[in-house]
Structure 1
Amino acid sequence: MPVHMTEGGRADRGKGVGLGLALASALAFGGSGVAAKPLIEAGLDPLHVVWLRVAGAALVMLPLAVRHRALVRRRPALLAGFALLAVAGVQACYFAAISRIPVGVALLVEYLAPALVLGWVRFVQRRPVTRAAALGVVLAAGGLACVVEVWSGLSFDVLGLLLALGAACCQVGYFVLSDQGSDSGEEVPDPLGVIAYGLLGGAAVLTVVARPWNMDWSVLAHSARMDGTPVPAWLLLAWIVLVATVVAYITGVLSVRRLSPQVAGVVACLEAVIATVLAWVLLGEHLSAPQIAGGALVLVGAFIAQSSTPAKGSAEPVASGTPERELSARGTAA
């Protein structure tokens, strides 16, 4: 006898798939720093690594851009926003920030994005949010403060802090734009097409900023050292392009479609934890007790936010997640 899935079962399955995609995205994004650091230590400028990452991913996604070329005519503003904010803006602002303030401080400020998303939803869109989601954000932010050990080496460089805040705002744009059209009656743009054109546009913007013609290309022909172990530089670059960018952006956008911008944003905070753990294992950068405790807080905060349920007597609070958002043939590639 066939078993029919209930509406609640489909919703739970949709949230489960969305959570899995969000975790995969956090894992992929979190691995970028571990692969990029040896390249930087081998002699590449950080902005050049960013340019290689985005430009390489844009080339990989070029066939999809051709396939979805109608998006240029239908949603030019969305594509421009995704390129400027979700791709070029986050990268450029973050790397500019760490040139003036400690990396830990810049990372913490950037990952205020989930709290900023909640503020956007509550005060700009005027939609209710659950208390559990807000609590999850507070716990995750507190955990991140421990993970990055914000109390060590704090520097009150105003411009640096503003640049890090700019990265956070750009990350808000990533989550909000990824959710574009998912709750309305309008046609949902294909996420793969949006990512492809976002990477192409981001590569164009970063070309002006990074000036890759000044890059030392010979570094890519040699090995970089990962905790003393030589690794081919091209292999590290391939990981950054294919996994830490292409896979990371695709799973990230698809997770937002199945959860909600702010829930996916809180889960994405795990990127900092994953990056720190991978640095411990692969680069020999050991975790302290406060960092381990902070990582646990981030996990708890992410779990509380994604598992929250709608409050009674209110309109569906967006931070509770929604039933699985069907990515129909109109909105996604088969």
Structure 2
Amino acid sequence: MPVHTSMSSQDHRGRGVGLGLALGSAVAFGGSGVAAKPLIEAGLEPLHVVWLRVAGAALVMLPLAVRHRNLVRERPLLLAGFGLLAVAGVQACYFASISRIPVGVALLVEYLAPALVLGWVRFVQRRPVTRAAALGVVLAVGGLACVVEVWAGLSFDALGLLLALGAACCQVGYFVLSDQGGDAEERAPAPLGVIAYGLLVGALVLTVVARPWGMDWSVLGGSVDMDRTSVAASLLLGWIVLIATVLAYGTGVLAVRRLSPQVAGVVACLEAVIATVLAWVLLGEHLSAPQIIGGTVVLCGAFIAQTSTPARASQAPVARGAANTGGPRIPGERQRVVR
């Protein structure tokens, strides 16, 4: 009995740390759009901001890539998959989708990722999913529909919706790949090494897509306007690279390792809520009553999801969490979300 109590206490602490990391990741990702919007309004293209973000983060993480160069030999497919899906795939699909459909609709479709993760757990891993887990997903997605006010732009384009769904599938890849090595039987690859190489791969792919040689580099040397306040463009870029990318990816991957793709994914739904609130506070974009209600519903869904999932130390093979989303991107304001 004393051993059981000790294990239970340890599992509880591990869950608390994991939830803290997941929340920190959501805050870091959610704040990126607030920093990116002034740069876009100053003349940079959204894809150029994304390229600066990923390429800058890859440069910061380069020493870790060199330190963990053994991963290239041991886990080449994991590194390639993380870079293509979790970094480049989400960005490219999301931006391609918002060129054809409203931002709110694209964001909502992308955040169907929690439901897709539950589908992965149930039908691919063949593990049962609890009703509480499914309820957490339904509440999170429904609340997000209110946060992005999806009814304000209901125009449908088949290709645009397909691209948004592609972004959601890439989000699933982010959470599933982040969990590699999370089981006791499998030696977990160094999470920071995986992130470093994922960013390098993503930067190479996005270089082809964004074509940064046509960017207006002079914007980065001056100041930009943030809700009538002058801020150095380099300071905002530093925030996007160091906080919204390096810190966000690092805490996100560690959260998945401590929790599960299902639980970390639903907590990541808070990213859109945090992005909207920060845009309200820092950019003067006021929240409507439906958005406030929707944010509350998302919080309820995330709470139900995390309380319904057993800790990793449990021997039960049942997936009781809710699903995933978020990741890594540059989310931002309600009508100009940069991911």
TM-score (norm 2): 0.91
1: CA distance, partners of 2:120 / 2:250: 23
Deviations 1:244-303 (A, max 9, x none): 000000000000011100110000000000000000000111000000000000000000
Question: Which secondary structure does the structure 2 equivalent of 1:151 belong to?
Answer: helix
Say yes or no: does 1:48 pair with 2:48: yes
* 1:315 to partner: Cα distance: 4.4
Deviations 1:142-192 (A, max 9, x none): 000000000011110111111111100000000000001211512111100
Asked if the contact 1:128–1:315 (Cα under 8 Å) also holds between the matched residues in 2, the reply is no
Deviations 1:62-101 (A, max 9, x none): 0000000000000000000000000000011111111111
* 1:130 to partner: Cα distance: 1.9
Asked if the contact 1:149–1:291 (Cα under 8 Å) also holds between the matched residues in 2, the reply is yes
Say yes or no: does 1:131 pair with 2:131: yes
Q: Which residue of 2 aligns with 1:288?
A: 288
Pick closer, same or farther for the CA change 1:56–1:4 going to 2, 3 Å.
same
Matches within 5 A, 1:1-334: 6-309=6-309, 315-320=316-321
1: CA distance, partners of 2:289 / 2:70: 52
2: CA distance, partners of 1:282 / 1:207: 30
1: CA distance, partners of 2:226 / 2:83: 31
* 1:227 to partner: Cα distance: 1.0
Asked if the contact 2:179–2:256 (Cα under 8 Å) also holds between the matched residues in 1, the reply is yes
For structure 1, which segment, 224-233 or 25-34, has the greater mean C-alpha deviation from structure 2 after superposition? 224-233
2: CA distance, partners of 1:164 / 1:32: 20
Give the gaps of 5 or more residues in structure 2: 323-339
1: CA distance, partners of 2:309 / 2:295: 24
2: CA distance, partners of 1:309 / 1:185: 20
* 1:309 to partner: Cα distance: 4.8
* 1:228 to partner: Cα distance: 1.4
Q: Which residue of 2 aligns with 1:329?
A: none
Of all paired residues, the percent bearing the same amino acid is 83
Give the gaps of 5 or more residues in structure 1: 322-334
Q: Which amino acid aligns with 2:59?
A: L
2: CA distance, partners of 1:245 / 1:113: 20
1: CA distance, partners of 2:55 / 2:36: 15
2: CA distance, partners of 1:319 / 1:271: 22
Deviations 1:107-137 (A, max 9, x none): 1111111110000010111011222111100
- Count of matched residue positions in the alignment of Structure 1 and Structure 2: 316
Runs of 4+ in 1 over 3 A off after TM superposition: none
Asked if the contact 2:29–2:245 (Cα under 8 Å) also holds between the matched residues in 1, the reply is yes
Question: Which secondary structure does the structure 2 equivalent of 1:126 belong to?
Answer: coil
2: CA distance, partners of 1:186 / 1:18: 20
